[in-house]
Amino acid sequence: MGCMSLYYVFTQQYIIVFWLILFAALADVLDGLVARLLKVSGELGKQLDSLADVVSFGVVPGAIFFQLIRYAYEANHTLQSGNFGTGLAFGGFIFTLGAALRLAKFNLDSNQSTDFVGLATPGASLSVIGLMLVHHKGSGFMTAIVSNEYMLLGFAMILFSLMLSPIRMFSLKSIAHGGWKKNIIPLIFIVMALVLTIWLRGPAIALLPLLYVLLSLYLYRKT
């Protein structure tokens, strides 16, 4: 699904990209459960999971950043050569670098079973998908961001930093084990995410990972 998404990114069929990445995220959630049910879970599956994540939640968002930065530059510099704009757009792949480093660190860290250190790659890619939808719609309060190549590059660098940050962040998977009383903050995030997505759609999807980081900072403020 990640490889298919790349084709649709470069043919500007962004709604199809949205659904493919959504199904990739669903597969990412269910793959461990399916492996355990089939009794084929193991170290190989763990490595394959991360390799697939690099494509779907690393390369694809990097390609989206590349396209958005290139479009923004060409729209703002119609009378200039596009060579500099293309070079600038390649900077969007800093997201891909951050995702690969984040996943490698995750595989080496045995202390991230109930929560995370740094923004998980699917969460970071969600923000990029939101920017893509804002660009596709062409209106809304975040249009200024997707219309400015330097703001987009800055957004990519922020997500790069959050993926590799030492910030401890909660996992939504912990809700199934800890009960609702111990997971008030994650449940609040889920409710806010649903409300904001229905209300704002693309802009909400772009900003949800930042809301997630803020709530994680509050939850783990003592540590």
Contact 2, 28 (CB under 8 A): no
- Look at residue 142 and tell me if it is in a domain: yes
- Look at residue 214 and tell me if it is in a domain: no
pLDDT in tens, 155-207: 999 999 999 998 888 887 666 555 666 778 888 888 888 888 888 777 888 98
Q: Which domain holds residue 107?
A: 2-169
Rounded distance, CA 218 to CA 200, Å? 24
pLDDT in tens, 73-99: 988 887 666 688 889 999 999 999 999
Of 145, 124, 154, 137, which Cα lies nearest the Cα of 201?
A: 137
Mapped onto helix, strand or coil, the DSSP state of residue 170 is strand
- Look at residue 210 and tell me if it is in a domain: no
Average pLDDT over residues 97-121: 84
